[in-house]
Homo-oligomer: A and B are copies of this chain.
Amino acid sequence: MKYRETLRIVDPTLRDGGLVNDFHFTDDFVRALYRANLAAGVDYMEVGYRASKKMFNPADFGPWKFSDDEKILATIGEPAPAIKLSVMADAGRCDFETDIRPRSESPVTLVRVATYLHQMSIALEMIEDAKSKGYEVSCNIMAISAVQEADLRNALDALAKSPVDTVYIVDSFGALYPDDTRRLMDIYLDTVGAAGKGIGMHAHNNQQLAFANTILAAEAGADWLDATYDGMGRGAGNCPMEHLVGFIHNPKYKLRPVIDFAGLEMESLRAAGTVWGPSLAYLLTGQFNQHPRAAIAYTKAGRSDIDNFLNEVSNTN
């Protein structure tokens, strides 16, 4: 497995990490990340969301909440980026008709449509739109630990018939155990896998299982693996890139640039006060299969009354 040629690594550090710092990365950081990914052999770099400027005020966020094509090109500073780029388009939060231009007019290769299960009809419309514009397209099904299997199978059946290229398991709550990951992989393989779609894994690290779930999904047949430098991502963060690249023994991936970037650039973000990663509060929302928002608020408030927090998380009717 460690040598499988078909594996692809996607780096959403700017996108999921942007949820930690409201997308306020410096241009220098973005360029350094781009160079690190290129040197490491990472297959795709996700530059951010393509969020609606009608719903979100650009003054309230850094540029990677919106990831304008012009901003991507100006920041990376190359007319034809040497690494494939992706943006994430949230179902219901993206003016995709106008903001996603034909691929020939954009530096972006891959559009990742993120959706909750109940928004699948919008997501399918966005998938059709992006495919018709020439993009590679994935569908990233969020909060997968909180859906009913019958509903999930219906959605996956619809995706199997759609033009989507890849369908992701997104463990938004960091609630999946290894056994859950394998069970979900079986369902994905049965449906979208059988239809020839790729399968992806995007894990969160609430229970320190993000890396384990990612490599277990890969072992079961997932070819698209998300990982971020130092695990930067919302709340407890994601599968760390330095863990994943150290694991995959494919010579196209290089560990040194990953270790250097994690040790230097990510450490600088932490030293400047940006906070992410596993903690007791994130563990509890993961164990109780909840959105991390309560743990994010607990963390931001500097609270340490974990016993009260346990009450709050375990009595949420």
User: Which residues in A have some Cβ–Cβ distance to B below 8 Å?
Assistant: 1, 177-179, 205, 207-213, 215-216, 219, 240, 242-243, 246-247, 255-256, 259-260, 262-264, 267, 280, 283-284, 287, 304, 306-307, 310
Contacts and interface: CB of A to CB of B under 8 A. Distances in A.
Contacts of A179: 1, 219
A306 B208 contact: no
A258 to B, nearest CB: 10
Contacts of A262: 280, 306
Nearest to A247: B177
A178 B307 CA distance: 32
A287 B215 CA distance: 14
B304 A256 contact: no
B306 A259 contact: yes
A262 B306 CA distance: 9
Most buried by B among A1, A209, A210, A255: A209
Specify the main secondary structure of chain A where it touches its partner: helix
A259 B280 contact: yes
A246 B209 CA distance: 13
A208 B207 contact: no
Contacts of A260: 306-307
A255 B179 CA distance: 21
Contact of A310 (B256, B287, B307): B256
Contact of A212 (B178, B283, B287): B178
Contact of A208 (B240, B267, B284, B304): B240
Nearest to A245: B287
A240 B246 CA distance: 23
Nearest to A207: B243
B310 A280 contact: no
A32 to B, nearest CB: 14
Contacts of A247: 177, 207, 287
A125 to B, nearest CB: 38
24 contacts: A1-B179, A177-B247, A178-B215, A178-B216, A178-B219, A179-B219, A205-B208, A207-B247, A208-B208, A208-B212, A209-B212, A212-B212, A212-B213, A243-B283, A246-B283, A246-B284, A246-B287, A256-B307, A259-B306, A262-B306, A263-B304, A263-B306, A264-B306, A267-B304
